[in-house]
A and B are shown apart, each in its own frame.
Chain A
Amino acid sequence: MLILGIETATQQVSVAIGGHEGVLGMFEVSRGRRHAETLIPAVEFLCAQADVQIDEFGAIAVDIGPGLFTGMRVGLAAGKAMAQALRIPMIGISSLDLLAFPLRHADRTIAAVIDARKGELFYAFYKPVPGGVQRVTEPVVGRAADLAADLMARGQNVVCVGDGALRYREEIAGGAACDFAEQFLAHPSAAPLVQLAHARALREEWVNPWEIQPLYLRAPDAQINWSTRESAR
């Protein structure tokens, strides 16, 4: 089965096509932050180059966050619309799982850390297991100091990965035993997304497009917008 993977939860736009042969093609751009502009042309380009017709997809995988809300919704809205039109199921995978997965061969605990803006981070801990990683804590939102305290409490060497880890490197490392994964692993990518999704598809662990839910982890900021409001009745 061919799977289209859509990843827009951080500043990167990433699209991949995968199946039982692994990742067949990928498009990724991490500059510009033009998620809505880039995503659909990227899908079109990738399908053309990989010689895949859109109706060949058997499932659509999306990053459900946590991440930047507006970007996340671009991928979710597009993925849900395509799945509904094609009448195929969806597979939602957390951005933190996608960050941790490429470090599955590490010999220690992994902290996946996404920059949540407003001085906060989304993070969770993982441990390597045969064939992948296993999440060992619930994803949370907190400050760099909270993560640093969590790391100290663990008292073991941890490898931190993600744009949040790199941005708050100093605060996180203060006193705790940790290393940092490289910049090229700092954003969740659609390549691990289609790999993880394929494994789930084999177990038929999927949902209908109207059932997929983003992982916001933060309540909406209840600031009212008077100026751009258009449709008062």
Chain B
Amino acid sequence: MSGITVDDRTLVLGIETSCDETAAALVMGGYDIVSSAVSTQVDLHAEFGGVVPEIASRAHLDLLNPMIARAIVEAGVGEERIDAVACTVGPGLIGALLVGVSAAKALALTWGVPFVGVNHMEAHLYAAFLEDPTLEFPLVVLLVSGGHTMLIEMQDHGRYRLLGQTIDDAAGEAFDKVARFLGLGYPGGPAIDREALQGDPEAIAFPRAMLHDGLDFSFSGLKTSVMNHVRKHPDVSAADVAASFQAAVVDVLVAKARRAAEAVGARGLVLGGGVAANSLLRERFLSVCTEGGIRGFLPSREMCTDNAAMIAAAGWHRLRADGPTALDAGAYPNLRLPLLP
């Protein structure tokens, strides 16, 4: 299997089961989405207000085969055209990851094609390339999700430098916790986003933690001040709290992203991760890019949230750079992004 050619005709099946989305996709040449099927389990977890690992694993086992079948049918190509199978091996929920990894390795063995283990965070970095292959390095990526808040400099394919990250809660985690506290439901991101539309973002001056201080983030103090404010003012409008909280998070995210892009002389600034679906963040992101004369790139909401096209794309790049992953690979729940020293 070694010595395979990886070029713009190489068709990769991507598989993603790291959290609460079951997804499969076919991507050609690392950039061209041929098909992408995603099934979200959000309704299964809603009543618990968070992702329940065992429920997620059970659902992945039920949903993965139909997603793979759908991706292949929608692509309109025969399975024999598939050149490699890429799958998220981490980070994520161990039981959930293992469903995808086991299926992906089984498919690779059955079809006699290479298997490629993909780092989910690296795949998020590649999501933007699927929609704009003309992006040029160095790029700065602001990656915001339920588990991560990071500023990454992409110097080249596979060459990443960490510019800043959260020192406590991830931004998405803060959204979930505040939404839960305000009784707005789950998942917190879209719930706050909706509620904030009715509120005044300047109603309450929540702190902008570490705004002028380096490129790291902190959201746990903000979450605490939201809770304190609501306890002190029980009749406050939930919409005003949501809008003011969201504005505080977004202010810090975009200010630091812009500063990071300027610091490294980036040729582009990219937004990624599940929280990148937030409408205020999308709007403010584009306006700071315009103000700073930076080329901003905002992937579609489908590419920001978990999907398998980004896994296939990252898999194509990894296959080209490193070759196949051995079939005795496992799943690595705490896998980190490979960073330059």
A residues at B contact (CB < 8 Å): 34-41, 43-44, 54, 69-70, 73-82, 84-86, 209-210, 214, 216, 220-233
The yes or no answer to B106 lying at the interface (CB within 8 A) is yes
Please judge, given known A-B contacts A210-B65, A230-B18, A230-B120, whether A37 and B172 are in contact too, CB under 8 Å.
no
- 18 CB contacts below 8 A, A to B, read A34-B330, A40-B102, A44-B327, A75-B102, A78-B103, A224-B52, A227-B147, A228-B92, A228-B93, A228-B147, A229-B172, A231-B274, A232-B145, A232-B175, A232-B176, A232-B275, A233-B146, A233-B172
Alpha-carbon gap, A14 to B105, bound state (A): 17
Partner of B110, one of A73, A82, A232: A82
Shortest distance from the beta carbon of A9 to any chain B beta carbon, whole Å? 14
Closest CB of chain B to A98's CB: distance in Å? 20
Expressed in whole angstroms, the Cα–Cα distance for A226 and B57 within the complex equals 16
CB distance from A118 to the nearest CB of B (A): 13
A226 contacts B50, C-beta separation under 8 Å: yes
C-alpha gap A54/B148 in the complex (Å): 41
Main secondary structure of the interface of B (DSSP, over half): helix
B189 at the interface (CB under 8 A from A): yes
Min CB distance B332 to A, Å, is: 11
Please tell me if the beta carbons of A229 and B109 are within 8 angstroms of each other in the complex.
no
What residues of chain A lie closer than 8 Å to B190, measured between beta carbons? 233
Write out the residue numbers on chain B whose beta carbons fall within 8 Å of the beta carbon of A36: 98, 101-102, 105, 330-331
Contact B52 A40 (CB under 8 A): no
Note all chain A residues with C-beta closer than 8 A to B66: 210
Interface contact B52-A43, CB-CB below 8 Å: no
List the 10 closest pairs (A to B, CB-CB), nearest first. Answer: A232-B146, A232-B172, A224-B50, A220-B54, A230-B147, A81-B103, A78-B106, A81-B106, A77-B102, A40-B105
A231 and B79 in contact (CB under 8 A), knowing A222-B55, A224-B48?
Answer: no
Q: B130: shortest Cβ distance to chain A, in Å? A: 17
User: Given that A40-B105, A225-B50 are contacting pairs, would A73 and B147 also be in contact in the complex, using a CB cutoff of 8 Å?
Assistant: no
B114 at the interface (CB under 8 A from A): no
Q: Do B98 and A222 touch across chains, with their CB atoms under 8 A apart? A: no
Q: In the bound complex, what is the Cα–Cα distance between A221 and B53 (angstroms)?
A: 8
Q: Are B99 and A73 in contact (CB under 8 A)?
A: yes
- The listed residue (A74, A222, A230) touching B148 by CB distance below 8 A is A230
